[in-house]
Structure 1
């Protein structure tokens, strides 16, 4: 049996105070694990992964139309772009081309789905794992943790920038096989480096399925529904705090919100196995973030426009910079990524210290305030998109090219820069805030669930992009009317569609603001353990001796 001791003061300074262990299950030594050293390896892997992801996405539409002739999976995807048998015959004119066979399409989409599956496994877990390298109970590490997600997204955006420049250049000027082969090689190297960092990582103890605990609370609450909600906390079941510490969890005292859930912990119920107060409070924390989660889905829908319609707009315009250089269509996102890269160091180094002077908040402003600022900026970006589209359509009408879907509009794509730049800054505010919020506000033992909620909001938002676009196309095209969004963007009314998104954004922001005003942030873990928690640590002794330690 493992033996746990709670040591105090200088004796415990060598070890972390949050119950983290090393790769062999021993208590993590602060000087030899975690911190930015471990995070640099995790972030390095994320950089390569995002380079691969954005390198694929940037020119995916181009590859589908010009190579497949259609309106970690990287290994298979590399084969599909390299082997002649896995793609149709070359067709330089892109007219009357042979369609991809069923087998060729099947392998291609299998590779994409495999890539998506791998991304789905790393996206919610890597940022959580990175943030877990910092100790909540150590003041200096806590400050580093507060800025971690900013630098995490800085690397994500930088990876996207490399993918949309370097990888796209190789695709356009050398070959698709070389570009995807390079990405596959980078991923293999990054994986090896990531695994070699195992001795330096801090790991959280496995505490069982968080959804199982939530489910148990809901079931017990329903079973005790007819019981009057107890007002005395002594009527509620709770276990000793040391039992939670031995599992890497923290006890939570009963709160007054969502009190109907307290029925699950009622001691005098007819059920002999009531839930603990901490289990109930963790369930409350999950339920409290759900309204916020619903309101941050639509901002992901707005963000998705920059990868679809904004890029398609640019493809209809003059993309030359100077007389000899034309920006590849897959690299338009660079003008979206650069503002994101610039705003993060400005925000961390300048704005947070400035705001902190007035608010006293270590983050400068609250997480929800940051998200709110981002949503407002998204609205401004869409307003700029409306105005830009009005100008583009005016040029089209004056030159009489509305019916020619292949005509290049004689106006520079640089007119799109305001909407791209504002949207990039908005995404830096919203996306960093979303991940930080769901990680921070999820129970300590359910932080992967919080990161999964963040990832799910982005996925659902992207799905809604297509759903809204399809619905608008069908509704506005009824009764012989011309649809707002057509395959021929020169004949479309994207200004109307963008204006609709502005209205929807205002409605969503109003709901978000209402939910934010009523939201109560959860306590820091150190508050739950008292004033000496910053000096406390849990040590695991595998000697198996039985004394004053806590047995598990």
Structure 2
């Protein structure tokens, strides 16, 4: 009887015990582990893809550059599809899981292409008459790259967002934890970069491509296992529908009502549900027609639209206006990304045809040069955030941060300097090789450091500022859209780079500036100067047009700081609220 009472009491305690809480740091440790292994794998592949395709598939010239740029572009634009699937159907957890599995399968296929000689053409022994890969060999290669692109589409838009879901940002403790999470996330990225740069890329280039690909494949396997182990600790929010579909609906509805005219806005009726407090802005008035009620039959008995592709809410319309409003700045971002793309392809090709030895035995892997840009980016962010901002704030007693316009403009100037420097170095490299009748120029690869550093500074100033602008211009419900638009920027720049390369190749025949296995027979320096010219046009465009659309973000930041001060002093913060809605 007594044992029965003890058993009953034990059961009551178990039933009364509160359920184990989810989220927080207990979840983040699994996610950081997953992210670290995934980043190590992906970065080691991206940094060395040009070298792998050239040395193992005998690719060269335009075809090689097209394969790399299109693959990078597709990996970025697939993030848009990943964000849509996550928001509308399966949620962030499953999107991350499926993306990790797709990346693992793709990396596994890449390892097989490196390990099975039959899967690739014979090693080239007679430059430039190398045996090219057969169609079925290319099909296997592209299938692996395609799976990697699909995996990137699932991982990139959801990683940080899923991590942010694990914290309660409605509390001060949750907000501090979230800030620490971002710092830890960036630290894991930096550590993965260092390992990929110093270890994996070196193994791939100087020891074995099979081992060099097996390592990131194993890392991806570990990342999937770690992610699954922590599944019982995750906070998994259900998908609530995608903003992307709302954007399409507004466009369709506004086109359908394009012939509808209204002279007096006060007499027009717009669909604005009672739970929506959105303020109708005066910009892009043509889109307002999507929310205009032109017929009482457009609403059912419950006051909801009969056809959501003909009548949208004002909130949906204003969301699209936010997207349209950032397009002028987005154009400038594409121009800067165009410069960054050149170093992952042509910059690496330059390194291949330069002296890379240190001492008598050690040879610098060409892929290491792309890491210089990443290291420069990381170092500058540390200097700017950790030294410049913190020290000057104490000295000046005010916020010393550079404005967004200044950062974008500096980034564009850096992009121009990057291409001019690259052109000068390439001319010097080519002349050195031709004067010595050598395929490998007797000029050390360290000469490329300035152009890769300038590429990293371009990203540090322009890319970070552009991403910040996208985020600040979007309401809370559209943060995933901001991330997706940023990845679209990267994607369009890759496709644009491929298009420009092919056009220049055609226009400069029969002695093309680009193409072939030997850069010494090309005029890559001329191409760099053309891209620098695009950068100069981008600077003019941003100065006179694009920068005008950044000004509202600056006003918002100032007003937000005033609001925070008013809240601390007991103010009501109405000034910011009004300014925000007016913008």
Asked if 1:419 is matched to 2:434, the reply is: no
Taking structure 2 as the reference length, the TM-score comes to 0.72
In the other structure, the counterpart of 1:326 is: 363
In the other structure, the counterpart of 2:272 is: 238
* In structure 2, distance between residues paired with 1:212 and 1:164: 40
Task: Indicate conservation of the 8 Å contact 2:272/2:315, yes or no.
Answer: yes
Shift of 1:458: 0.9
In the other structure, the counterpart of 2:200 is: 167
Secondary structure in structure 2 of the residue aligned to 1:329: coil
Task: Indicate conservation of the 8 Å contact 1:128/1:439, yes or no.
Answer: no
* In structure 1, distance between residues paired with 2:183 and 2:460: 8
Shift of 1:186: 0.9
Structure 2 vs 1, CA of residues 130 and 45 (structure 1 numbering), >3 Å: closer, same or farther?
Answer: same
Unaligned ranges ≥5, structure 1? 1-27, 245-250, 535-552
Q: 1:455 aligns with which of 462, 470, 487?
A: 487
More deviation in 324-333 or 179-188?
Answer: 324-333
Q: How many residues align?
A: 485
Secondary structure in structure 2 of the residue aligned to 1:288: helix
Structure 2 vs 1, CA of residues 68 and 413 (structure 1 numbering), >3 Å: closer, same or farther?
Answer: closer
Asked if 1:67 is matched to 2:56, the reply is: yes
Q: 1:123 aligns with which of 156, 161, 182?
A: 156
* In structure 1, distance between residues paired with 2:150 and 2:266: 48
* In structure 1, distance between residues paired with 2:257 and 2:134: 60
In the other structure, the counterpart of 2:226 is: 193
Taking structure 1 as the reference length, the TM-score comes to 0.76
Shift of 1:461: 1.0
More deviation in 258-267 or 417-426?
Answer: 258-267
Task: Indicate conservation of the 8 Å contact 1:336/1:423, yes or no.
Answer: yes
* In structure 2, distance between residues paired with 1:185 and 1:452: 29
Unaligned ranges ≥5, structure 2? 1-18, 61-102, 300-304, 306-310, 569-583
Q: Report which of the two has the higher share of helix.
A: 2
* In structure 1, distance between residues paired with 2:505 and 2:262: 52
* In structure 2, distance between residues paired with 1:355 and 1:510: 31
In the other structure, the counterpart of 1:252 is: 278
Mapping for residues 230-379 of structure 1, pairs under 5 Å: 231-232=265-266, 235-241=269-275, 251-267=277-293, 269-270=295-296, 271-272=298-299, 273=305, 274-353=311-390, 364-367=401-404, 369-379=406-416
Shift of 1:507: 1.0
Structure 2 vs 1, CA of residues 106 and 56 (structure 1 numbering), >3 Å: closer, same or farther?
Answer: same
Secondary structure in structure 2 of the residue aligned to 1:411: strand
Task: Indicate conservation of the 8 Å contact 1:154/1:344, yes or no.
Answer: no
* In structure 1, distance between residues paired with 2:287 and 2:48: 50
In the other structure, the counterpart of 2:470 is: 438
Greater RCO structure (CA 8 Å; 6+ sep): 1
Q: Deviations over 1:15-51 (max 9, x none)?
A: xxxxxxxxxxxxx99x9634x7755644443332232
Task: Indicate conservation of the 8 Å contact 2:44/2:196, yes or no.
Answer: yes
Secondary structure in structure 1 of the residue aligned to 2:362: coil
More deviation in 135-144 or 298-307?
Answer: 135-144
Shift of 1:99: 5.2
Structure 2 vs 1, CA of residues 359 and 222 (structure 1 numbering), >3 Å: closer, same or farther?
Answer: farther
Task: Indicate conservation of the 8 Å contact 2:44/2:201, yes or no.
Answer: yes
